[in-house]
A and B are shown apart, each in its own frame.
Chain A
Amino acid sequence: MKTLSALLAGLVFGLGLILSGMANPAKVQGFLDLAGAWDPSLALVMAGAIGAAFLPFRLAGQRKQSWLGEPLHLPGTREITPRLVLGSLLFGIGWGLAGLCPGPALVLLGTLSGPALVFVSAMLAGMELFRLLEHKRA
């Protein structure tokens, strides 16, 4: 049940990414190209997503457990750290270089796209690198 519920959420999330244009790297780069011919569409994706999620997230914040009886895993960290900022900057550079972020990359992988396969493989390698570096520290 929990697994099916997560699968459905992933499917709808993916449909949203495709419909919105987020799964088209050229469109994402068109949004990031403020100095060129700017395509503001992706600002509306964020507005729609945040608008739709705002009240449900308030509701979730007041609950002790989820509808399916799971604990609510809501982030508790509040500190603004160098890791947060530097990590986000690295992510943003990669996002601009390819026009892909993690969700759309996985969606494109489902179209058997060669470029998506290259990107996702490298992304997994990056995540594994993080795991190795952080494992050593711990």
Chain B
Amino acid sequence: MIDWNHFTPLASLAGGVLIGLAASWLVLANGRIAGISGLLGGLVDRAADWRGRAAFIAGLVLAPLLYRVLAGDMPSANVTAAWPQLALAGLLVGVGTRYASGCTSGHGVCGLARLSPRSLVATLSFMAAGFGTVYLLRHVLA
């Protein structure tokens, strides 16, 4: 059953295009894949090229500020998980994305745009795990 009340096709498509253009810019201008877990993981690993990584991450963190200047209010962001669940989730995302060498951006956007078979396997895996986890949370454990 599709939730038409929350479906935002135009904003989501336009936001997606912005994401794709930013990733295109980073690879063409800086020669880097816009994979957030990889860029952040390199900082954790004390990689030598930390400036570009830190600058991209700073851009992400500052984006809400710019969004407010351009559009007024931020759209709502609702976190349903309690803190222990958030901490467990963050830990899994940190370890998992580093072992997988990528997340939604590196594999799901850049990798799929490059038609990488590795990224297709990664994307199908994390999607399946995401669907399964929310199914358990909402329809089995709830």
Contacts and interface: CB of A to CB of B under 8 A. Distances in A.
A68 B49 CA distance: 15
Between B11, B60, B64, the greatest number of chain A beta carbons within 10 A of the residue's beta carbon is seen for: B60
Given A8-B25, A102-B97, A48 B130 contact: no
Decide if the interface of chain B is mainly helix, strand, loop or mixed: helix
Interface in A14-69: 14-27, 29-30, 32-42, 44-54, 56-57, 59-61, 63, 65-68
B99 A92 contact: no
A50 B20 contact: yes
A45 B7 CA distance: 12
A131 B37 CA distance: 13
Interface string A69-85: 01111110111100111
A126 B44 CA distance: 10
Interface in B76-91: 76-81, 83, 85-91
Interface of A: 2-27, 29-30, 32-42, 44-54, 56-57, 59-61, 63, 65-68, 70-75, 77-80, 83-103, 105-111, 113, 115-116, 118-131
Interface string B103-118: 1110111111110111
Contacts of B135: 33-35
B126 A88 contact: yes
Given A20-B11, A50-B113, A95-B126, 14 more contacts: A3-B55, A5-B25, A15-B70, A16-B16, A25-B78, A49-B23, A49-B109, A86-B100, A92-B125, A92-B127, A102-B93, A108-B77, A111-B77, A127-B95
A68 B29 contact: yes
A88 B86 CA distance: 18
B96 A124 contact: no
Nearest to B87: A122
A137 to B, nearest CB: 12
